[in-house]
Amino acid sequence: MLIKALCEYADKLEESSEERLPQGWSYQNISYRIMLTDSGEISDILDIRQEKKEVTNKGKEKAVKQTVSIILPERTQKSSIDSNIIEHRPLYIFGLNYDKGSFTTQDKTSKARKSHEAFVKRNLEFFDGLDSPVCNAFRKFLERWSPEEETQNKILCDLGKDYSNSYYAFGLDGARGNLEDDEQFRKKYDEYITQDQEPQQGSELYQCSITGIASPTARIHDKIKFPGGNSTGCVLVGMKEPAFESYGKSQSYNSSISEAAMKKYTLALNYLLSDKNHRILINDMAVVFFAMKNDDSAECDEFSFIFGDTKSGQEQMTEQGINGAVQKASSGIIGDTESVQRISADNDVQFYIAGLTANSSRLCQKFFCKGRFGDMINNLKKHQQDMKIDEGQRSVSFFSIASQLKPPRSKDTTIAPPLMTSIVLSAINGTKYPHALLENVIRRIKTDRDGENEHYTKLNSVRAGIIKACLNRKYNKEEITMHLNEQNYDPAYVCGRLFAVLEKIQQDQANGKLSSTIKDSYFSSAASKPSSVLPKLVQLSQHHLDKLSEPSRIYYNKLVGSIIDLLDDSFPQTLGLDGQGRFIIGYYQQNKALYTTNSENRKDG
């Protein structure tokens, strides 16, 4: 289904004049442009990257240089030495390795020499007969450039470390034109592509599983460039081993995807993954999304805003912001009050979402969703409402959820992809959250420790909100409300409330000068086995009460007594996972209510 949807989306891109990509061409990110003189010498290498401001995960703004995407002849998909028509890779263009601040032609496999020779040979053959200023300059560069004589080239030395990590294009000195835009070159290349696309004599035609049309089947599928993944790319469809062969078909002939369909889906997927308006990264998973229309910018902007794009700082969005975004979208408006922009967001359009991960050579589809755009937006809005446990709480991005599930001192910064996949699907489809989510967050709360010098806390609004959302969706009712619910008589919830009051008594008698509280020593065991811990803590609290003023002592005595009365003087022996979640929520809400009351009393006084 994903490949079929991508092929349809590629057709939509073709219909859009702004996104039209000629057959046989591809987008390539470029950092530098090599400026050639009429005699083929390098006059300069211009940095054409654009400086833009981005928001980091910590909410800080920083300036970064972004590459420029240009259209070049389709890039080779081979991992072996194979040159493109008009190269972009430095090793092929210059034939030099950059090592410890200096350039050299030497390497163990002579790859630099072989790559440059392949580049020169193929491009001299192709550019033979072309007669334009930029084509002549390029051909002369190919003929005169000698890597052995250019190891001290000042222009290359000025690039430094950027040399190896950047891609290049060619232009004629004096802003007289770029090589890839030359009219003669484009005409010859388009004729070359037309001849290359014709079916080879004797090739067999099979019915394409995507289009249903009998056409040549793709043997090898083009590479997908995954953000942060293998620089050479990976494949979504690929069968190399004999174990995958069936009915006498080897390699990707098993997929029965035609060459034309393969070109379409790889083009569309590479476009989506390279465009930050069409994908969001959650740890090592990329979530790509698109609407089946020519211009889906309105739908994608709204989706990423509500979904929580951490790269744009959108995890800081408040509930009011979510509601405002949905209301504006329904009336065809998006943006802030200072710059309101009319859009064409269509709640009835078909919207697609896919989660993808990558290893060294393959792309793995974790999930794929298709549905009405308006329904998905409403489900995401409900997800944010379910995760909210405090008034004025900022929205909770999936990145934030993932960060709360990881051991603080673990070097592994990711969580299990199946768990992240289940969480995202629950939010998009409006279904129950995975049991493992509740299990993981409770484990973290019971295991982690608070500390002045720590970068994490045992219990915060995000973790409490996750528990609230999991329990309410599991039992399909608002079992846990936004605020402290004194009418909630669930024993686990009541025990959590009691623990919060006992801790507050301990803190008050010490005037906040404690290095640790009963939470640091007894929280985990109290949440699991209340009957073995709480009676002892209640008895201990009497010694703390004796040190308080009479008004405070009376207040806390009444509060502790009223809470214990709800338990009928019987503490639960053990609490299961759901019960531990209710205990934690009871503690969190009672603790917040106690501090809110104290703060209000201080203001009144």
The DSSP line for 119-165 is HHHHHHHHHTT--SHHHHHHHHHHHH--GGG-TT-HHHHHHTTHHHH
155 in the same domain as 78:
yes
Residue type, 170: F
pLDDT of 331-360, one tens digit each?
A: 444 444 333 344 567 899 999 999 999 887
Q: Is residue 471 part of a domain?
A: yes
DSSP 221: P
Q: Do residues 581 and 475 make contact, with C-beta atoms less than 8 angstroms apart?
A: no
pLDDT at 172 over 70: yes
Q: Is 465 helix (H, G, I), strand (E, B) or coil?
A: helix
> Per mean pLDDT, which range of 196-200, 215-219, 431-435, 543-547 is the poorest?
196-200
Domain of residue 289 covers: 281-450+461-481
Q: Is residue 496 part of a domain?
A: yes
180 in the same domain as 62:
yes
322 in the same domain as 270:
no
The helix (H) or strand (E) run that includes residue 282 is: strand 279-282
Q: Do residues 306 and 442 make contact, with C-beta atoms less than 8 angstroms apart?
A: no
Q: Is residue 546 part of a domain?
A: yes
Q: Is residue 300 part of a domain?
A: yes
149 in the same domain as 75:
yes
pLDDT of 106-161, one tens digit each?
A: 888 899 999 999 999 999 999 999 999 999 999 999 999 999 999 999 999 999 88
Residues with Cβ within 8 Å of 271's Cβ and at least 6 positions away in sequence, in order, are: 13, 19, 27, 278
Q: Is residue 345 part of a domain?
A: yes
Q: Is residue 455 part of a domain?
A: no
Binning pLDDT at 50, 70 and 90, where does residue 57 land? low
Q: Using the 3D structure, point to which of 155, 182, 197 is the last residue of a domain.
A: 197
Quickly tell me which residue has 């405090």 as its tokens: 390
Q: Using the 3D structure, point to which of 274, 294, 329 is the last residue of a domain.
A: 274
605 in the same domain as 559:
yes
234 in the same domain as 141:
no
Domain count, the chain: 4
Mark residue 251 as left, alpha or beta (left: phi above 0; alpha: psi -120 to 50; beta: remaining). left
Q: Is residue 26 part of a domain?
A: no
Binning pLDDT at 50, 70 and 90, where does residue 453 land? low
Binning pLDDT at 50, 70 and 90, where does residue 430 land? very high
Cα–chain center distance at 266:
19
Q: Is 396 helix (H, G, I), strand (E, B) or coil?
A: coil
175 in the same domain as 214:
no
Q: Is residue 564 part of a domain?
A: yes
Cα–chain center distance at 131:
47
303 in the same domain as 250:
no
218 in the same domain as 97:
no
Q: Using the 3D structure, point to which of 180, 197, 214 is the last residue of a domain.
A: 197
90 in the same domain as 105:
yes
Q: Do residues 446 and 523 make contact, with C-beta atoms less than 8 angstroms apart?
A: yes
Mean pLDDT estimate for the chain: 84
Mark residue 24 as left, alpha or beta (left: phi above 0; alpha: psi -120 to 50; beta: remaining). left
Share of the chain above pLDDT 70, in %: 84
Residue 125, Cβ density class (10 Å: 0-12 exposed, 13-18 middle, ≥19 buried): exposed
11 in the same domain as 38:
no
CA dihedral over 457, 463, 464, 465, signed as positive or negative = positive
pLDDT at 52 over 90: no
Please tell me the pTM assigned to this model. Answer: 0.74
288 in the same domain as 423:
yes
Residues with Cβ within 8 Å of 188's Cβ and at least 6 positions away in sequence, in order, are: 126, 129, 130
Quickly tell me which residue has 């060294």 as its tokens: 360
Tell me what pLDDT residue 570 has.
86
